[in-house]
Amino acid sequence: MPTQQTGKVTGVTCNDDTMNHRVHASAPSWIVLIIFIEGFCSLGAEIVALRRLVPHVGSAIVVTAPTIGFFLLALALGYAAGGKVTVGHLARVTRNFLLSGLIVGVGLAGPVVNALFSQLQPVWLAYLVFLSAVLCPVAWLLGQTVPILSNLMKHEHVGQASGTALYWSTLGSFLGSVSLSVIVMQHLGVSAAVIACAFGLLAGAAMLQPRTRYRVVLPMIVGAVVIGINLTPIAAADTSYADYQVKPLDTPGHVNPRMFLSNNSLASQIDESTPPQVHPYIRHIRQTLLDELGFRDREILVLGAGGFTLSQQEPLNRYTYVDIDPAIRQVAEEHFLRGPIQGEFIAQDARRFVRETSRRFDAVVVDVYSDRAAIPSHLVTREFWQATQGTLLPEGVLLANLVLDARLASPYARHLLDTMESVFGRCSTEVLRKGQAWSNVVAVCHARGRPTPRGIYTDEHNQVDLEKFAIGLR
């Protein structure tokens, strides 16, 4: 830890003209701690940034890969910049930690990110501003830490010093990514992870300050700003997977209607009528199950919990909900349903569940969205539909809620439906809002369905009468 001392120090040599002090003999342990904090908070900031982007640009590989790539590029440039520092080592690291703490604490705060993407359009421009003004500066500033502080570590050779520094930095990165995503975000929310990263950097800056009564004043001021911004409520809950909000809904003819928002997108709606009025696509699926298929005393699997409204005040069948976010049940019960869900809840990834379960269901309802129109990419493949088909009883039915262009003319719509039909054969599709550009589309497929070669009737080769006659003989 730095002190106002002069003279040669055992174990460490330091030429720090800017701060005009030498490093204490116990400095190597403090240097290691500073490097550990850098690793913890730099990768922690990246994890938080990826999570903050989900409500606005989704979590597809075409978003996460460039984000990680730009972060690594800025980190590499930071390594190069840090390697050029020859004087003022501790002053540079102190300044970098203070700036990084401020950028992380403010730039990754929920209200700031939401304001950026709501005020700056198109969305790709807001994304680039987010990268260039928040994530990349943090990576560049913190990337300088290891090469700068390696100069202050006394070892037998340069490789040993750099290897030790990289070891503690990478160990910090490992623990930061795991603890923030698995523990902090899950139990305390994303804002708590932002505060943890920011305060780690501010604590590191305070350690590097000269020992005076004012050493923690500036970090404390920045910390107060960080807490004030991040404790501003933006949602009923923010978890590793989504921001959840419950807001009143202005819908004539409904009794105290409210909507359940997931990642700023409408996931479900309900009111206090008896029975409750729900979103039109939920009403359509329920009508299909109860009236058209006549399901009674059946087992129904719902992939993607939404607001758990499909089973509300529906005692005729048994429902099992599967959702990747373990917190969604408590959020829905406390803030949206205002009562317990009706059915069983399993917190698990949908694809993993259908691949591993030995249970069989009369119907599977697929309603998996990370935001308004984004189905996670691993839940649209042929392999996923095959695994889902395997959970159905022989006479079972699949119902999938898809948000597609109302004309079903886009490549995405055609390819998604073609993928389903490559497993189930022909599926019926009902576009619920035909006059809008985008609509809920409910596809219904049967477990016994099988894909068949496509055929076209022509004047030269017309088998229509024969095939109609064959149907009539069955």
* Among 345, 351, 300, CA closest to 325: 345
- What do you get for the CA distance between the two ends of the chain, in Å? 87
Backbone angles phi and psi of 126, in degrees to 5 = -60, -40
**Dihedral of the alpha carbons of 229, 230, 233, 234, in degrees to the nearest 10:** 100
The per-residue pLDDT for 239 is: 80
Lowest mean pLDDT: which of 15-29, 182-196, 327-341, 433-447? 15-29
pLDDT band at 233, cuts 50/70/90?
low
CATH says 275-446 is which class?
A: alpha beta
The two three-digit tokens of residue 71, written as one number: 């972060």
pTM of the model: 0.78
The 10 Å Cβ neighbour count of residue 53 is 21
Backbone angles phi and psi of 238, in degrees to 5 = -130, 120
Strand pairing partners for 427?
none
Distance CA 474, CA 469 (A): 9
The per-residue pLDDT for 471 is: 60
Question: Same fold for the domain at 27-234 and the one at 275-446?
Answer: no
Place of tokens 């590793």: 240
Distance CA 474, CA 470 (A): 7
CA 154, 159, 165 angle in degrees (round to 5)?
Answer: 65
Lowest mean pLDDT: which of 62-66, 97-101, 232-236? 232-236
Distance CA 196, CA 44 (A): 9
- Gyration radius of the chain over CA positions: 28
When pLDDT is averaged across residues 42-56 and rounded to a whole number, the result is: 92
Q: Looking at the predicted structure, is the pLDDT value of residue 244 above 70? A: yes
Helix (H, G, I), strand (E, B) or coil at 262: strand
pLDDT in tens, 74-128: 999 999 999 999 888 889 999 999 999 999 999 999 889 989 998 998 989 999 9
The per-residue pLDDT for 449 is: 84
Distance CA 53, CA 64 (A): 9
Spell out a b/e string for 257-279, using b for 16 or more CB atoms within 10 Å of the CB, else e: bbbbbbbbbebbbbbeeeebbbb
Task: Output DSSP code: residue 114.
Answer: H
The two three-digit tokens of residue 119, written as one number: 């005020």
Lowest mean pLDDT: which of 25-34, 89-98, 262-271, 326-335? 25-34
The per-residue pLDDT for 8 is: 36
pLDDT band at 251, cuts 50/70/90?
confident
Q: Looking at the predicted structure, is the pLDDT value of residue 429 above 50? A: yes
Distance CA 381, CA 376 (A): 10
Are 302 and 327 within 8 A, CB to CB?
no
As a whole number, the mean pLDDT across the chain is 86
When pLDDT is averaged across residues 275-288 and rounded to a whole number, the result is: 91
pLDDT in tens, 3-25: 433 333 334 444 444 343 444 33
The per-residue pLDDT for 311 is: 93
Q: What is the CATH T-level fold of the domain 27-234, as seen in this structure?
A: Growth Hormone; Chain: A; (1.20.1250)
Q: Looking at the predicted structure, is the pLDDT value of residue 398 above 60? A: yes
The two three-digit tokens of residue 111, written as one number: 């209200």
Asked if residue 280 has a cis previous peptide bond (ω within 30° of 0), the answer is: no
CA atoms within 13 A on the CB side of 374: 18
The 10 Å Cβ neighbour count of residue 345 is 20
- Enumerate the H helices of 288-374 as residue ranges: 328-331, 350-356
The per-residue pLDDT for 212 is: 65
Q: Looking at the predicted structure, is the pLDDT value of residue 441 above 60? A: yes
In the chain, where the domains are located: 27-234, 275-446
The per-residue pLDDT for 342 is: 94
Strand pairing partners for 400?
366, 443
Longest dimension (CA), the chain: 103
Lowest mean pLDDT: which of 125-134, 232-241, 244-253, 273-282? 232-241
Are 290 and 311 within 8 A, CB to CB?
no
> DSSP secondary structure string, 399-433?
EEEEEEETT--SHHHHHHHHHHHHHH-S-EEEES-
